[in-house]
Amino acid sequence: MPPVSKSTPPSPSPSPRPALAVKTPMLGAVLDHAARLERANQQLHQQLDWPSNLRFELANIRTGTLVLITPLAPVAARLRLEQSRILEIASRAWATPLTKLLVRTLPAMAARTSPAPPPLSPAAAQHLRAAAAAADPDIGELLRRLASFADQSRPGPGRGR
């Protein structure tokens, strides 16, 4: 195996997967299953094209059963109502036919969504601008952009950068 340069970040491409699968076949099978689930999840969301507030995720596919999770009971009801359409879409993305839909409501899933960040205070923006002046240009620009969020959250004319 050729030496890996430590200065270049690892590639997000699936190229390491064959090496992992050869060394540990079980890990390779899990990675392949996860990749297929992700593709099926993406296709399901694209084809259904529901509003973003009707959130659900594909949790698993096992022995012909499609398992979906959602934080809201009304979304679970809608998923069950559209069972035949959902199974048809998911079957096209999966190698084997899917015959059953299992929908689970998981209220804790709602907590995973990150709420809008609280507005920055003017004092926080002032400290960020001071740090930006002392930092290198790249970091300074990021800090100035963060400070601008305080300007956007306050009524009235915003401060300059």
Phi/psi at 24 (5° precision): -135, 95
* Alpha helix segments (H runs only) across 99-136: 108-111, 122-134
pLDDT of residue 96: 86
Q: Which two tokens stand for residue 133?
A: 């002046």
pLDDT in tens, 48-71: 888 877 889 999 998 999 999 999
pLDDT in tens, 1-45: 444 444 444 444 444 555 555 567 778 788 888 888 998 999 898
pLDDT of residue 140: 81
Question: How far is CA 143 from each of CA 103, 139, 140, 155, rounded to the nearest angstrom?
Answer: 44, 6, 5, 21
Phi/psi at 69 (5° precision): -125, 150
Helix (H) or strand (E) holding 3: none
Average pLDDT for the chain = 77
Average pLDDT over residues 88-112: 85
